[in-house]
Amino acid sequence: MPSIISVGTYSPPYELTQEMTTEFARELFSESFQDIERLLSVFVNGEIEKRHFAVPLNWFRENHTLKERNDLYIERATTYGVEAIKDCLRSSLFLNEEVNVKEIDAIILVSSTGFSTPSLEARIMNILPFKTTTKRIPLWGLGCAGGASALSRAFEYCQAYRGANVLVLCIELCSLTFQQEDRTKSNLIGTSLFADGVACALVSGEQSNLIHISKQSVRPVIKATQSVLLPHSESVMGWNVNDNGLNVVFSRDIPSLIQEWLKPHVEDFLNDHQLNLEQIESFVAHPGGKKVLQAYEYALGFSKEDMEIPKQILQHYGNMSSPTVLYVLKQFMLEQQKTNNIGLVVALGPGFSLEQAIIKWEAIH
């Protein structure tokens, strides 16, 4: 079965505390909402401490055209993507030796916060010396589910080509979608929550020679994956594309949807593979927000201790959309899980959709 050998990350250079973003939101939205102080409680109650952005705070004070936003997205996403790949393939945390990019057979590129044709991985391949025959698999529109979905697609690729090495590269610059003139509650909540981040995972087939350069005694092996779509739920989460850019769609019903809809699909998936929720030792969840984490606890019966790593990532990075679940996975890998522990990767995104994967921590032989 395919293994996750290494995970690298890159956090954009502008770090803002939640106090700083709260003051900015107060300044920007106070004339639009009579109850602004009550609404600003989402910044405090969300328990996010800091976030990283591709642009400084002053950038958000002005309006920007879609072209300005997208040109900046292409430039910075390409640069940051290169750095995340380097961090993944040169990681002294996970690898005994560096991996040459010419060892990579396919790149699965995930992003939903800008547009690029040719897609970003083609631009990155002009900077790093990949093989010209490296397969390019760009995925767009998956939002917060994108990281888990890309791991699933890498799993399938490595099942078909058992000696293959695949990079999963998630790049999201949510800050560049911010609409200064959008005075809706969805935009206010998004301002309290979303951030920028990049993550890269190396997934290798069971016959790949890269498995044996893994530095850790155990590594996560992907055993099974599943995608689930909730019909006619387009309005739950996503973008409205307007002349000036992307306007966030973010339903207040997401936590209740998780509580009512998630558990049967997770249980059926686990049961299909002779497992149950009580056997899950590592819950690699995309932390969409504090209420989403609480909904996971309620729906699946997990304890606050089970949610500690996703909560830590949310506190230190915010919701970075698709890369976030890979940040969570990286932390689980760093904490050296016990051999034969079972993990569950879960992320929810536009559609409304669920992506999940069963992983098992196995020793390197």
Domain ranges of the chain: 3-213, 218-363
What's the CATH superfamily of 3-213? Answer: Thiolase/Chalcone synthase (3.40.47.10)
pLDDT of residue 227: 95
pTM of the predicted model, to two decimals? 0.94
In tens digits, the chain (365 residues) has pLDDT values of: 999 999 999 999 999 998 888 888 887 777 767 777 777 777 777 789 999 999 998 898 888 899 999 999 999 999 999 999 999 999 999 999 999 999 999 999 999 999 999 999 999 999 999 999 999 999 998 999 999 999 999 999 999 999 999 999 999 999 998 877 766 777 777 788 899 999 999 999 999 999 889 998 899 999 999 999 988 877 677 776 777 777 776 667 777 777 778 889 999 999 999 999 999 999 999 998 888 898 888 888 888 888 999 999 999 999 999 999 999 999 999 987 889 999 999 999 888 889 999 999 998 76
pLDDT at position 25: 80
Residue 251 confidence (pLDDT): 67
Q: Do domains 3-213 and 218-363 have the same CATH topology?
A: yes
Which residues have C-beta within 8 Å of that of residue 155, sequence separation ≥ 6?
2, 203, 222, 225, 357
Tell me how far apart the alpha carbons of residues 2 and 332 are, in angstroms, rounded to a whole number. 18
Topology of 218-363 in CATH?
A: Peroxisomal Thiolase; Chain A, domain 1 (3.40.47)
- For residue 183, what pLDDT is reported? 66
Q: Looking up tokens 């004070």, which residue turns up?
A: 61
Residues acting as catalytic residues: 144
Contact 142, 149 (CB under 8 A): yes
Q: What is the pLDDT of residue 235?
A: 67
Cβ-count burial of 31 within 10 angstroms (0-12 exposed, 13-18 middle, 19+ buried)?
exposed
According to the model, what pLDDT value does residue 110 have?
97
Whether 124 and 78 have beta carbons less than 8 Å apart is answered as: yes
Tell me what pLDDT residue 115 has. 92
> What pLDDT is attached to residue 267?
93
